Amino acid sequence: MEDGRDLLAVPISDAATVRRLLVEAAKARRDTSYANLLDMMGHRFSRPKMRALCKTLGAVDDVAVAAGEPELAVLVVRQSDRLPGDGWWVGGAQRLGYEGLWTGPDAVKFIRRRQKLAFDYWAGPEQPKKPKKAKETKPKKAKPKKSKKVRGAGTAARKRRARG
């Protein structure tokens, strides 16, 4: 708190601000860490603040689901493995019917699909990348072959002609 950030910070319970920040992230097709989200709100990361943020994320998702929108809390991830924290898995994943492990390839696949739903909803479907056109190559002109000169071959013929 020595830099005064927490004194000027947005309250962690401000669901409208949290939602706005997460919608911005979704439009940019990116996730955000718990620490980064707290920082954007003017707070230093701490476990108690993260737990308070998780309660707000639950409220944000409740509003989104009621409005027929995809969940946004799935965009908030741990820095270490880019997956949501345990609280999300207990609440959000169970609500969605996920019963697998909370780490590993199946969890990553599940999270990326859920994140893609939010990205596509807020940013529009990702446009497939256009294949690069192959460069038109012009046929190379055949260069005339240079004959190898045999050293001294012309000289002997000249000498013979000169002798005569």
pLDDT band for position 95 (50/70/90)?
Answer: confident
pLDDT tens readout for residues 126-163: 766 666 665 555 656 666 666 555 555 566 656 666 66
How many Cβ atoms from other residues are within 10 Å of residue 60's Cβ?
Answer: 23
Closest by CA to 42, choosing from 7, 9, 1, is 9
For the chain, give the number of residues: 164
Residue 46 · residue 9 · CB < 8 Å: no
Mean pLDDT value across residues 55-65: 96
pLDDT band for position 71 (50/70/90)?
Answer: very high
The CA distances from residue 6 to 3, 9, 10, 49, in Å, are 8, 5, 8, 11
Report d(CA 89, CA 58) in Å as an integer: 11
Q: Where are the domains of the chain?
A: 5-123
Per-residue pLDDT at 2 exceeds 60: no
101: helix, strand or coil: coil
pLDDT band for position 43 (50/70/90)?
Answer: very high
pTM greater than the 0.85 cutoff: no
pLDDT band for position 1 (50/70/90)?
Answer: very low
Look at 5-19, 75-89, 147-161 and tell me which has the smallest mean pLDDT: 147-161
